[in-house]
Each structure stands twice: as structure tokens, then as C-alpha cells.
Amino acid sequence: MKRILAWAGILAAVAAFLALIVLAVTGAPANILMALVFVVMIVPVLIYGFLIFVKLKKDDRDKDME
């Protein structure tokens, strides 16, 4: 699960970064560029938070089994 999420996060960040570069060179509006900058920063943070949440839930489930 962690590996799949890590790859998904890497692919999403790379795709957003490449789109950001292409749109910046072609002269896209500032709104779109700022949205892509936001995505490049937020996607890894959200995936990291999700992984922490899953780890905490897994630990709680293990404690309930005892």
C-alpha cells in the first residue's frame, strides 16, 4: 500500500511539475500557474498525512486485538 501511494504521489507531482513548466513557457494565466504550484506542494503533504493516518489506525487495530 505504501509503495503504491508513494509512486502515485511521485507521478502526480512530476506530472504537475511538467505541466507547470509547459504552461509557464507558453504563457498561461497566473491563476492556473498558482493552482499548479499549490498542487505540487500539497499532493506530497496529503499522501504523507494519509500514510500517518493509516499507520495510526493499524496500531489501534492491533491494540484492540490484544
pLDDT tens figures, 15-63: 888 988 999 999 889 998 898 888 888 877 887 888 888 888 877 666 6
**According to the model, what pLDDT value does residue 26 have?**
93
Q: Quick one: pLDDT at residue 50?
A: 84
Question: How many domains does the chain contain in total?
Answer: 1
More confident call, 49 vs 66: 49
Give the pLDDT score at 25.
93
Cα 58 to Cα 10, 30, 47, 53, distances in angstroms:
24, 42, 16, 9
7: cell is 509512486
Which of these, 39, 40, 58, 43, lies nearest to 1 by C-alpha position?
A: 58
Q: Give the model's pLDDT for residue 65.
A: 60
Residue 40: domain span: 2-65
Q: What pTM did the predictor assign?
A: 0.61
